[in-house]
């Protein structure tokens, strides 16, 4: 069985330093989540059974909720051309990388759009866990909404 080169206290210190980095460079962005709301079409509507006494059903409407989340934002257009060619990366314009904590990740994975600096984006990748010892942060790539 493999043993760690770092003690538990050293891992805790490193995690705390990474938390400080996130707290220092985070900023507010907004996630828009579509949520369905049922609106009874009759005053005799029974929400337990989802209908009225006469058998009528409720109407559903979609409401867009806006949530404020904290993220570290990196615009991929700002990467140097040499760095892109050196590592064989694909440079796409209009892409943004965000790093968010696990609580905000639950909101972003339900979001239909994400607003960064007054520009709307959609999620363009699966989330990648970004943490050496614990799963506290996620990296997600966004692309500009058309």
Tokens of 111: 């979001």
Rounded distance, CA 42 to CA 52, Å?
Answer: 7
Rounded distance, CA 99 to CA 70, Å?
Answer: 9
Whole-number pLDDT of residue 48: 67
Rounded distance, CA 90 to CA 108, Å?
Answer: 24
Say if residues 131 and 19 touch (Cβ distance below 8 Å): no
Task: Count other C-beta atoms under 10 Å from residue 125's C-beta.
Answer: 12
Say if residues 88 and 110 touch (Cβ distance below 8 Å): no
Per-residue pLDDT for 27 more than 90?
A: yes
Whole-number pLDDT of residue 78: 54
Q: Could you report the per-residue pLDDT of 58-88, keeping only the tens digit for each?
A: 567 788 899 999 999 998 765 555 665 666 6
pLDDT tier for residue 51 given thresholds of 50, 70 and 90: low
Task: Count other C-beta atoms under 10 Å from residue 145's C-beta.
Answer: 13
Q: Could you report the per-residue pLDDT of 100-121, keeping only the tens digit for each?
A: 998 899 999 999 999 999 999 9
């Amino acid at each position: 069985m493999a043993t760690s080169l770092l003690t538990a206290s050293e891992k805790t210190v490193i995690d705390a330093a990474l938390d400080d980095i996130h707290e220092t460079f985070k900023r507010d962005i907004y996630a828009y989540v579509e949520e369905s709301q049922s609106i009874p079409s009759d005053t005799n509507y029974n929400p337990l059974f989802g209908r009225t006494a006469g058998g009528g059903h409720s109407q559903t409407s979609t409401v867009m909720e806006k949530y404020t989340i904290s993220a570290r934002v990196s615009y991929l257009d700002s990467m140097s051309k040499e760095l892109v060619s050196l590592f064989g990366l694909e440079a796409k314009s209009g892409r943004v990388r965000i790093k968010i904590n696990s609580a905000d990740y639950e909101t972003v994975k339900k979001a239909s759009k994400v607003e960064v600096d007054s520009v709307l984006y959609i999620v363009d990748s699966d989330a990648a866990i970004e943490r050496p010892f614990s799963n506290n942060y996620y990296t997600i790539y966004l692309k500009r909404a058309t």
